[in-house]
Chains A and B, each alone.
Chain A
Amino acid sequence: MREFKILGVVIFFTLLVYWGVEPFAHSQMHPHVAPADFTFKDLGTLQKQGDPKTGADTFMNAGCIGCHGVQSQGMPAPMDNASASASFGVTPPDLSSAGAIYAENFLAALIKNPAHALKVEHKFNETRQHPMPAFYGLGDDLDQEIADIVAYLKSIAPKQMNGKEVFVDACQRCHDMKYDKMYTTSDRETLAGYMGINPPDLSMMIRSKGTEYLNIFINNPQKQLAGTSMPRVGLNEVAQEQVISYIEETGDRKKSQREAIGPKIIGFMLIFAVLAYLWKVKIWRELH
């Protein structure tokens, strides 16, 4: 009985220390923030019903392809990566998959006012303009035109994508994924100038930040890291889940192996402990 009392004391103080240095300390260092919002409530909802056919024309007339490529539609990027980097600081994204991976109200808001939708208004202003100019419309109803463009982008977007493809379209313009031999498409020097610092390699992000943090951060970086130059990415829930699992597959490739052999080794030690107990009882029986 006395041993259990002592064990209770040891466990109590061990757990107290654990609670203090882990959950409690982390709650103090990283205050709780609201969960990811995939409705992008602050950007409102799309009011107009877009028409992809009209949208295709609007898209061409609006001058999007002056900077962006749409590979899937046979429209290559107008500049190679080096010159695009030099002109914009970062390579502009190819829009083939934009309709599939970004939330539609985010896309609409982005076309209307990039710095606002991307939450980088602290970086860009009248004197330092965002490299993507706001779209002021072709003369008709602006919201209708934007809804049409979004409808067009959605109509050409692939139905199925994997995590790595989402990474290529949504992240790789700035970030490396060294452990999967993926490197930024932008020129490092101009990119560092554009972002203020070279964006980090994402190979080990799953271990350094964890799923929960990444989910909130990608959805709205300002919530976790106020003032960061990383824009809000605007991925919809499905695409973001895919890209996070890609980050996990790259940074924690052995997770399934770890989880598969864990129970076996723990089970082995349980059996060991039971056998050791029986042996101990046998040996000590003649001593008391």
Chain B
Amino acid sequence: MAHIRKAEGVIDWLDQRLAVKKLAKVMMTEYWIPKDINFLWAMGVVLVVLLKILIISGIFLLMYYKPDVNLAFDSVNYTIMQEVEYGWLWRHLHGVAASCIFLIIYIHMFTGIYYGSYKQGREMIWLTGMALFGIFSAEAFSGYMLPWGQMSYWAAQVITNLFGGIPFIGSDLVVWIRGDFAVADATLTRFFMLHVLLLPLAIITLVAVHFYALRIPHVNNQEAEELDFEAEAKKFQEGKKRESKVVPFWPVFLSKDFFVVGVFMVLFFYLVFYHYDFAMDPINFEPANSMKTPAHIYPEWYFLWSYEVLRGFFFPVGPIAAMDIGLAAFGFANVIFMIFPFLDRDPKVAPAHRRPRFKIWFWLLLIDMIILTIFGKLPPLGINTYIGFVAAISFILLFVALPFITKKDALGGTK
């Protein structure tokens, strides 16, 4: 047992028992981050802030929300939005943050892809990140169901139905997921449980693992320069701060992040107070009605690209039904990002602008996903279906081509 002496103060008392000084060094003042970074490196901290907003607002909403098909809609739209003091604010914060967090996740993800921050030791960061993306998607989907509006109900109907396409077990699986033959009270209560308990637990755990996964391979930098962190940290500690290529997480890295968070929060609160329809679809302010199908059913914007991959295949090929091809493509779209590090055959870490073929591939992927997103919301009529089909096929082909393109870049050498 450690020798305990009379404490000189609270910090010292804690330090003798919890080694808080060492902890602060490891976590903050001697956690080294490369200096050559831009504001895109602040997205992680923006995500943490948004996750905190979601958790805190969620706790307040949970105090009044009633997971029952007969009470849910009014508990949200009347009790929370009108009766509870500032209940509307918690709900707007929750809804808008849920949408914004996906925007930042996509920026964070594309930053990782652009700068090659997913390979050569950083695979676990990527894998935990993509697992987080998957669980966040489930969290968003289950949360969207809770107000029990028209879109809640019909999205639940359409999405749970997708599992019916899985061979052999499909129809049983749908019933198992719904807890009933149709989307009903049992469906709502179980998705409520997922939304407020199981998925948040998984998210918090995975976030911790995601952060931990950064410590060994370290954060990447703008030029993907391989740094000797120990040597650079030593320079910094010796006072050669200008010369050193690293900075401590606290206060240097975070001082920049606070500023980025501040700017982002101005936009965020503008959306919360004045421009929230994009995140809180008006159709969901109509109570769920199983007898009345909305004219247009579409998922939230962040699911549109994969939804369009599903919808893009609108004709059967030989004996395979259009629906089954779409489902296979949808499955492909949802797992392919997970194995990204293993599709990239170029062992060198470099930003896309130094990888001639990958650079083109990157921008094509981004544009294709934006086209998928936009057409994912449009009614599938006339020319829209063909554009959707071409974009969906292109998405798949881009990933099929990725190993070859990166291999070629590797052979050709980077600039």
Binding site for B on A (CB under 8 A): 2-3, 6-7, 10, 13-14, 16-18, 20-22, 24-25, 28-29, 178-179, 200-201, 203-204, 207-210, 251, 253-254, 257-259, 261-262, 265-266, 269-270, 272-277, 279-280, 283-284, 286-288
A208 to chain B, nearest CB (A): 4
In whole angstroms, how far apart are the Cα atoms of A287 and B253 in the complex? 11
B258–A279 touching, CB < 8 Å: yes
Contact flag A276-B286 (CB < 8 Å), given A21-B373, A25-B377: no
B378–A28 touching, CB < 8 Å: yes
A276–B373 touching, CB < 8 Å: no
A24–B266 touching, CB < 8 Å: no
A230 to chain B, nearest CB (A): 14
In whole angstroms, how far apart are the Cα atoms of A259 and B89 in the complex? 11
Asked if B212 is at the interface (CB within 8 A of a chain A CB), the reply is: no
B374–A21 touching, CB < 8 Å: yes
On chain B, the residues within 8 Å of A208 by CB distance are 282-286
Partner of A277, one of B35, B259, B282: B259
Contact flag A287-B266 (CB < 8 Å), given A276-B258, A277-B259: no
Contact flag A258-B273 (CB < 8 Å), given A20-B374, A276-B259: yes
Q: Counting chain A CB atoms within 10 Å of each CB, which of B103, B266, B270 scores highest?
A: B266
In whole angstroms, how far apart are the Cα atoms of A24 and B375 in the complex? 10
B282–A259 touching, CB < 8 Å: no
Q: Counting chain B CB atoms within 10 Å of each CB, which of A20, A28, A288 scores highest?
A: A20
On chain B, the residues within 8 Å of A259 by CB distance are 273-274
A24–B374 touching, CB < 8 Å: yes
User: Nearest 6 pairs between A and B by C-beta?
Assistant: A273-B262, A20-B374, A262-B273, A208-B285, A207-B285, A276-B259
On chain A, the residues within 8 Å of B256 by CB distance are 280, 284
B301–A3 touching, CB < 8 Å: no
A273–B379 touching, CB < 8 Å: no
Partner of A29, one of B35, B77, B82, B379: B379
Q: Counting chain B CB atoms within 10 Å of each CB, which of A16, A207, A286, A287 scores highest?
A: A207
A18–B273 touching, CB < 8 Å: no
Asked if B255 is at the interface (CB within 8 A of a chain A CB), the reply is: yes
B255–A284 touching, CB < 8 Å: yes
Contacts A/B (CB < 8 Å), 26 sampled: A6-B40, A14-B103, A17-B370, A20-B374, A28-B379, A178-B74, A200-B286, A201-B287, A203-B78, A208-B283, A251-B285, A254-B82, A258-B88, A258-B89, A266-B269, A269-B266, A272-B265, A276-B258, A277-B259, A280-B256, A280-B258, A280-B259, A283-B252, A287-B35, A287-B241, A287-B252
On chain A, the residues within 8 Å of B373 by CB distance are 17, 20-21
B381 to chain A, nearest CB (A): 9
13 new A-B pairs (CB below 8 Å) besides A21-B304, A261-B273? A21-B278, A21-B301, A200-B286, A208-B282, A254-B88, A258-B89, A262-B273, A272-B265, A280-B258, A284-B252, A284-B255, A286-B241, A287-B241
On chain B, the residues within 8 Å of A273 by CB distance are 259, 262-263, 265-266
Residues of B173-211 contacting chain A, CB below 8 A: none
In whole angstroms, how far apart are the Cα atoms of A251 and B282 in the complex? 12
On chain A, the residues within 8 Å of B89 by CB distance are 258, 261
Residues of B345-403 contacting chain A, CB below 8 A: 366, 370, 373-374, 377-379
On chain A, the residues within 8 Å of B269 by CB distance are 262, 265-266, 269
On chain A, the residues within 8 Å of B3 by CB distance are none
Partner of B107, one of A10, A21, A207, A287: A10
In whole angstroms, how far apart are the Cα atoms of A10 and B114 in the complex? 13
A204–B77 touching, CB < 8 Å: yes
A32 to chain B, nearest CB (A): 16
A21 to chain B, nearest CB (A): 4
In whole angstroms, how far apart are the Cα atoms of A208 and B149 in the complex? 10
Contact flag A204-B39 (CB < 8 Å), given A273-B263, A283-B252: no
A153 to chain B, nearest CB (A): 35
B40–A13 touching, CB < 8 Å: no
In whole angstroms, how far apart are the Cα atoms of A78 and B251 in the complex? 80
Asked if B242 is at the interface (CB within 8 A of a chain A CB), the reply is: yes
On chain A, the residues within 8 Å of B77 by CB distance are 179, 203-204, 207
A6–B270 touching, CB < 8 Å: no
In whole angstroms, how far apart are the Cα atoms of A24 and B301 in the complex? 13
B107–A265 touching, CB < 8 Å: no
B302 to chain A, nearest CB (A): 10
B270 to chain A, nearest CB (A): 6
